[in-house]
Amino acid sequence: MYPIHKKAALCATLALALSACGGSDGNNATPAAGSTSLQVQPSLGQISNADVTVKSLDGKVIGSGSIDASGAVKLGLGNVSGPLLVEVSGKAGARYYDEGLNAELDFPAGETLHALLPGAQAQVGVTPLTEIAYQRLLANKSGKLAEVTAADIGKANDDVRVQFAPELKNLLSVPKLVNARTGAGALDDDEAGRYALKLAALAKAGVQGLDESKPELAAGADDAKAALGAQRPMLALGRQLGRDFADGQFDGKEGSKALSEALYNADDFHDRIQDKLLQAAQQLGTARLVELVQQGGAMPRGNALSRAEKGTQLDLAILQTTDLHTNIKSYDYYKTQDDITLGFERTATLIDKARAELPNNLLFDNGDTIQGTSLSDYQALVSPVSCNATLAQYKVMNLMRYDAGNVGNHEFNYGLPFLAQVTGAAMRVPGTEDRKGCMGPRFPLVLSNAYAVSDKQPLFAPYVILNRTFRTADGKRIPLKVGVIGFAPPGIMSWDKRNLDGKVYVEGVKEAAEKYVPAMRKAGADIVVALSHGGISAAPYSPDMENAVYHLAKVPGIDAIVSGHSHSYFPDGKNYAGIAGVDNVKGLVNGVPTVMAGFWGNTLGVLKLGVTYDGAQWKVTQSQGELRSINSKVGNDTVAVAPHAAVGKLVQKEHEGTIRYVSTPVGTTEFRISSFFSQVGDTAAMQLINAAQKDYVERYVKASLPQYANLPVLSAAAPFKANYRGTGYTDIPVGGVAIRNVADLYLYPNTLQAVKIDGTALKAWLEKAAEQFNQISPTQTADQQLINGSFPSYNFDQIDGVQYEIDVTRPKGSRIVNLRWNGQPVAAGQQFIVATNNYRASGGGGFASLDGSKTIFDAPDANRDIIVAYIKAQKTLTRAAQGADGNWHFARATLAGRVLFESAYDAEAVARADGIANVFKVEDKADRSGSIYKLDLSL
């Protein structure tokens, strides 16, 4: 597996010989006789200003100096022979570049890196790996350095090399220096590049290990980079590795005692470093270096790995989430209350459970991850997340140790600069240059069918090869290369044209698969998993097809598909039934095991795969897809699994910030805005909705429908909260009005639509709304109920901009009288524009002639957001400007008896304040849950 290692071992034993062992860049270990200077080039990443001392093993200082701006120092050694100790010491002002945090950190006094040389040589690298060898020798000789021989040094250095960096020829080679300015492709597949890559991977592993062992460090910090950097994770990791390996056994133990607060796990160190190598290679390496990593050619020695043989079987489980849409807490930010039908904090509980049950697991996410809730808006727009902090959604996914993630269509909604920043991707797109090296997901993101216009290369890595170790049923540890490729729907070019035009272009899913899957096989993938952000459709293939999984499954070489985007479920025995080639019980699409696991965190997908090695390749021999829901029904109740405590805790700050955001006033109101009497009179609550909608539509018409600029713009609104089944009213007190208040007034997440109708349709609209009332008999002396209890208040549309009366003594269909616009009776053919919502305009509620055919404007904005914007612009709502204008009232009638209705407790004064003079409290309800009122139609 590592031919180079044999050669290097030879070199080590011949260390004293004068013949060079090759090494194209002259990083040879053999001493050249009579050399009088030593170039010392230490690295964590590039170090600056540190002191360097060269000593003989008895402690005599032979030379000293300081690292210069090039990251090295050349010291004269005089006429020296024999083993040497090089010390690189920190001090005030010394710094080093950490590739895990992409930041410069202090290298203070007290921190030292050592390298032991068997003899004088021209150049040497001093790294945490040479430090491990030093610690090992020190431990073996009980601290008596003077007793160490050149042979001991050669062996120790090589033992460390074999264990941690077998891809190197010599542990003392000089690594290429990586700093903040190091760009993509800087490291090539040569000794210096490989060494730099290994150090970068260790730096990243150090950060991850620190974050995992002490999540509270970064969780609460505004500057996570600084919080983690203060602990100098790479140096801490190096120390632990040194203590572990001091006894020559890499087992997570110092001797027989387990390391405390360990920053790594010896058993999966091999897999962990592979991931980090891949990330580092994609960030800093050439394609050849990436290839080296994907072929498994640069990893530390794995513990007790076995080779696969013909018949070797592995039971794998592909765990998956899709379309999380930043639903982390099980919470509804508009209602500011819990919502157990969603939430990654609950999916995480299922992930832990599945991992305990299925130890050979991989966890993938299929995109549409970072956009979709007030929390994502908060972090993208309101209180933008900084480069030095990880996006909340990625924080929790880092915590749950995802193996890889796909990019979906909604990832592009906040624009490319934001995406580049939060993913830490180097995007080669104009406008994203300054968003480099930011904190992001620790797992790789893949996407193969979206390209940067600038260099025609995929925007993200098209695929990754993950080297993993899995156990057979009889306990053998088998390495497996898992190829993971990602696809997004090509429709992003239309849906996010504004963000992508001229910067990104796409290819069809099938075309990208045909291009890259063979490359993945060539790169050594044993199995290939496709993360396709698209659904399952048997329609004939076209490259711009949104839901291409059915056709993707026909591309040879794909072993499993993770599907999504359609917010559906597969296999559940119900969805995608009756399609040739689709088995929605086992979960097969054209023979390929496939799972689609809901959305918003409501489901964890589990694809169980049995794979068998036939002597030449791994084949899937069994599969079963499963959908595990976070909630279930117990009788009439919905119950949910317990939330994962650590997930919730990790995003507590962002969660509370979002609640503050929706609770922060966007304006103030000088008067109380309530829906207590919105069913029986014109109220400010409806006036406010209509004022906002009318304003928005008027602007739009002026700008984009000038041919209709002369038409009156009316607006329709209905009271959504009228205490149905005790669910309460809207009641915004005088003072600040926040987003959550507006969400309480406008309960539904509708988008605004405007329709163009004539006078006949306008009257019909109002007539339908007026069906809310019972027909009142003027002669009946017994009490009559005004409101028909089975009529939903959300259908009682009141239209502002016209004047009308409702005569409740008449039958349904002829109750609207005196319908006037601008004082004149409305003519049957008179044209109006009415602002409303998508539900009403497309036929919701069955309002005659509204069925989508009258829509002249389909706004991108939600009604709620339009009201918020209106209040922001007005700043203060006053009775004079936004109070009810009394444009409608009941037609007057003289009745023999009373007409009654129920409303809020003892609220007559509130009606008066809204200008409603004809309602009078009759009595309070015994339980004070409300009061009975009478409507005096004679007033």
Asked whether the bond before 571 is cis by omega within 30 degrees of 0, the reply is yes
For residue 389, the minimal CB distance to another protein (Å) is: 27
Residue 862 near another protein by CB under 8 A: yes
> With 0-12 CB in 10 A as exposed, 13-18 as middle and 19+ as buried, what is 896?
exposed
Q: Which two tokens stand for residue 629?
A: 């829901």
Residue 830 near another protein by CB under 8 A: no
For residue 491, the minimal CB distance to another protein (Å) is: 6
Contact letters (x/-) for another protein, 781-810, by CB under 8 A?
-----------x-x----------------
For residue 756, the minimal CB distance to another protein (Å) is: 6
For residue 633, the minimal CB distance to another protein (Å) is: 9
Q: How far apart are CA 86 and CA 149, in angstroms?
A: 15
* DSSP helix/strand/coil, 868: helix
In this complex, which beta carbon is closest to another protein, that of residue 186 or of residue 488?
488
Residue 851 near another protein by CB under 8 A: yes
Residue 568 near another protein by CB under 8 A: yes
Residue 405 near another protein by CB under 8 A: no
Residue 581 near another protein by CB under 8 A: no
In this complex, which beta carbon is closest to another protein, that of residue 363 or of residue 375?
375
Closest C-alpha to 408, from 363, 466, 460, 373: 460
In this complex, which beta carbon is closest to another protein, that of residue 136 or of residue 329?
329
Residue 852 near another protein by CB under 8 A: yes
Closest C-alpha to 260, from 240, 276, 279: 240
In this complex, which beta carbon is closest to another protein, that of residue 339 or of residue 936?
339
Q: How far apart are CA 44 and CA 195, in angstroms?
A: 10
**What value does the CA radius of gyration of the chain take, rounded to a whole number of Å?**
35
DSSP, residue by residue, 133-163? HHHHHHHHTTT-GGG--HHHHHHHHHHHHHH
Q: Which two tokens stand for residue 367?
A: 């995109």
Out of 428, 533, 565, 608, name the contact with another protein by CB under 8 A.
565
Contact letters (x/-) for another protein, 79-108, by CB under 8 A?
------------------------------
Out of 83, 206, 238, 490, name the contact with another protein by CB under 8 A.
490
DSSP, residue by residue, 715-779? EEE--S-B-GGG--B-EE-SEEEEHHHHHHHS-S--EEEEEEEEHHHHHHHHHHHGGGBPPPPSS
Q: How far apart are CA 273 and CA 424, in angstroms?
A: 19
Contact letters (x/-) for another protein, 649-688, by CB under 8 A?
----------------------------------------
Please give the residues from 599 up to 618 whose contact with another protein meets the rule CB under 8 A. Answer: 600
Residue 575 near another protein by CB under 8 A: yes
Residue 315 near another protein by CB under 8 A: no
The H or E element that residue 196 is part of is: helix 191-213
Cα-Cα end-to-end distance for the chain: 96
For residue 786, the minimal CB distance to another protein (Å) is: 19
Q: How far apart are CA 98 and CA 309, in angstroms?
A: 41
Stretch that binds another protein, among 359-367, 650-658, 855-863, 913-921 (CB under 8 A): 855-863
| Strand-pair category, 84-89 with 731-732 | unpaired
Q: Answer yes or no: are the C-beta atoms of 118 and 81 closer than 8 Å.
A: no
In this complex, which beta carbon is closest to another protein, that of residue 106 or of residue 514?
514
Residues in contact with another protein, total (CB under 8 A)? Answer: 69
Residue 839 near another protein by CB under 8 A: yes
| Strand-pair category, 123-126 with 37-42 | parallel
Out of 6, 60, 725, 928, name the contact with another protein by CB under 8 A.
725
Out of 185, 524, 557, 844, name the contact with another protein by CB under 8 A.
844
Residue 332 near another protein by CB under 8 A: yes
Q: Which residues of 304-330 are buried (b: 16+ CB within 10 A; e: fewer)?
A: eeeebeeebbbbbbbbbbbbbbbbbbb
For residue 647, the minimal CB distance to another protein (Å) is: 20
Residue 566 near another protein by CB under 8 A: yes
Stretch that binds another protein, among 275-283, 291-299, 356-364, 502-510 (CB under 8 A): 502-510
For residue 217, the minimal CB distance to another protein (Å) is: 35
Residue 906 near another protein by CB under 8 A: no
Q: Which two tokens stand for residue 613?
A: 């090695």
Beta strands in 560-708 (DSSP E): 560-563, 569-570, 582-583, 588-589, 592-597, 603-613, 618-629, 631-634, 637-640, 665-669, 673-674
DSSP, residue by residue, 420-458? HHHHT-----TT-TT--S----SSPEE-SSEEETTTSSB
In this complex, which beta carbon is closest to another protein, that of residue 2 or of residue 708?
708
Residue 771 near another protein by CB under 8 A: no
Out of 339, 514, 885, 936, name the contact with another protein by CB under 8 A.
339
Q: Answer yes or no: are the C-beta atoms of 12 and 118 closer than 8 Å.
A: no
Residue 707 near another protein by CB under 8 A: yes
Contact letters (x/-) for another protein, 362-391, by CB under 8 A?
----------x-------------------
Please give the residues from 163 up to 222 whose contact with another protein meets the rule CB under 8 A. Answer: none
User: What is the contact surface with another protein in residues (CB under 8 A)?
Assistant: 325, 332, 339-342, 372, 409, 453, 490-491, 493-495, 497, 501-502, 505-508, 535, 537, 542-544, 546-547, 565-569, 574-576, 600, 631, 636, 638, 704-707, 724-725, 748-751, 756, 792, 794, 838-839, 842-844, 846, 849, 851-857, 860, 862
